[in-house]
Structure 1
Amino acid sequence: MSNSARAMKTYNWIKGLAVMLAMSCAPAHASGEAVRIFAAASLQGPLDVAASEFHQDSVISYGGSGTLARQISLGAPADIVILANETWANWLVTGAGVPGPPRAILSNRLVLIVPAGGPVLDDPDLDVLRQVIGDGRLAMGQHTAVPAGIYAQAWLTHIGAWDALRPHLAETENVRAALALVARKEVPLGIVYASDARASAQVVVAWTIPADQHPPILYHGLALTPVGAAFLDHLAARIALFEDAGFVALP
């Protein structure tokens, strides 16, 4: 074999090795594929903006945290899931084998809302809530699955109103659905996050519920793939975007 032939053979071997190494170091997603994001419905808006700033396209599926957690546990394809409740996030790790631990990224406030032009309340108790509800219903997330509903139940229990008002609830599959009921004046009162209230000009905040009257509101992210982990880091760098939308940054 001539020297030139040996050189060409060596060149081709090195070239092939370089290609193999590049393929082995490539991310789980090809650069042209969209990042698959499962996210609590209350994140809609600022999360859309944050995703548009990421270096890959994205597909976001919004829903109630309980519903999303169950979908992930059943094998729904996702790169990252962001839930509004630590219990559901921990359940995915301990009960569904999702890599952990969950990463706390945001907080929020719980508020009472009424249709625009409705009354502002001052430390409402059961009697005040009954007066506002009248013959209508109180809209909130489903109390066994939707985090906003879980927090709402805790507050209503704290003020001694849960048992009395439970028959008068309009429970929804996610917190944005509860917001919509109030915005459309289908119900006179709702319990949502402060960020949800900011998202609609058809509602006003009647009362901001004290944070010590319900469990801490914490959004947790779980990365299921390397690109999901990169997106989670991207979110951590864009917390100010969520603060502008009414969320609360963690210390």
Structure 2
Amino acid sequence: MFKRALVSLALLVSLSTAAIAEKLTVFAAASMKDAIERAAGEYQAAGGDEVVVSFASSSVLARQIEAGAPADVYISANTDWMAYLVERDLVRTDSEIIIAGNNLVIATAEGTKPAESPDALLDERFAMGDPSHVPAGKYARTALENLGLWKDVEKNAVFGENVRVALELASRGEVKAAIVYGSDQKAVGDLVRAYVFPADSHAPILYPAAATKDGAESAEAFLAFLKSEAGRAIFTDLGFSEATE
């Protein structure tokens, strides 16, 4: 009886391990939430592995991977945090791809007229990602500095731990506006795009993705799906721009 129990336990452990192995864990930037959730669903429906996604700021996720978090794929909202993991030999560099681009906008309440300059939209409390580590916040600060406005509006800025937090603050009316990605503004129905920052006011907004160093072999299959026609259609539909490398 005891031996049978051991055999049964060993079988259960084996099956459990196999089930875990069939799951693909993806760490993705918060601004990619809608797109990656849809992509994961379509990938699974097409016969791919089950995909479990964790969303947060690119910096938080990169540091979690550095600390040993078990991720198979990392998707960043800028190239800096991907480079951070590359320098530490924590991703498979031959798997790295650019899956999408984006633009930087000011989202504010419905009824707000488009502005020719951002200063009038940022004359009261506004939200943005924390520029010390959140990619969207870094882009926003750089853009405002290049437009000669940062020193004037910095005092009004409320920093969020990721770009979706900034968006939520504006959506709830806790701030006058939020500097977010164009895809974020499109994702909510109660905010309008009042200003689009010039493309040359900040570095190109790109989303690199790669398999982690110890990630499952199937990580590359998911990355290939993101670059496929079906994957690109998801990003375009949700307001991202075409990926450029």
TM-score, L = length of structure 2: 0.84
CA distance in 2, matches of 1:29, 1:222: 24
CA distance in 1, matches of 2:85, 2:34: 25
**1:2-13 alignment, distance < 5 Å:** none
Query: Aligned-pair RMSD on alpha carbons?
Result: 1.8
Letter in 2 for 1:84: A
What is the CA-CA distance between 1:180 and the residue it aligns to?
0.6
CA distance in 1, matches of 2:113, 2:42: 39
Q: Which residue of 2 aligns with 1:198?
A: 186
Which residue, 223, 228, 235 being the options, matches 1:232? 223
1:29/1:241 Cα in 2 relative to 1: closer, same or farther (>3 Å)?
farther
CA distance in 2, matches of 1:240, 1:178: 26
Which residue, 228, 242, 247 being the options, matches 2:235? 242
Contact 1:81 1:221 in 2 (8 A): yes
Q: Which residue of 2 aligns with 1:76?
A: 69
Q: Which residue of 2 aligns with 1:116?
A: 110
* Unpaired runs of at least 5, structure 1: 1-27
TM-score, L = length of structure 1: 0.82
Q: Which residue of 1 aligns with 2:41?
A: 52
Q: How many residues align?
A: 218
What is the CA-CA distance between 1:53 and the residue it aligns to?
1.6
CA distance in 2, matches of 1:64, 1:202: 23
CA distance in 2, matches of 1:221, 1:214: 21
What is the CA-CA distance between 1:99 and the residue it aligns to?
2.5
CA distance in 1, matches of 2:21, 2:59: 30
CA distance in 1, matches of 2:138, 2:172: 23
What are the Cα deviations for residues 55-93 of structure 1, in whole angstroms up to 9, with x where unaligned? 111111001111111111111101101001101100101
Q: Which residue of 2 aligns with 1:142?
A: 130
Runs of 4+, deviation exceeding 4 Å: 28-32
* Unpaired runs of at least 5, structure 2: 1-16
Q: Which residue of 2 aligns with 1:88?
A: 81
Which residue, 92, 101, 106 being the options, matches 2:100? 106
What are the Cα deviations for residues 86-107 of structure 1, in whole angstroms up to 9, with x where unaligned? 0110010103533215322210
Give aligned-pair identity as a percent.
39
1:29/1:43 Cα in 2 relative to 1: closer, same or farther (>3 Å)?
farther
Q: Which residue of 1 aligns with 2:3?
A: none
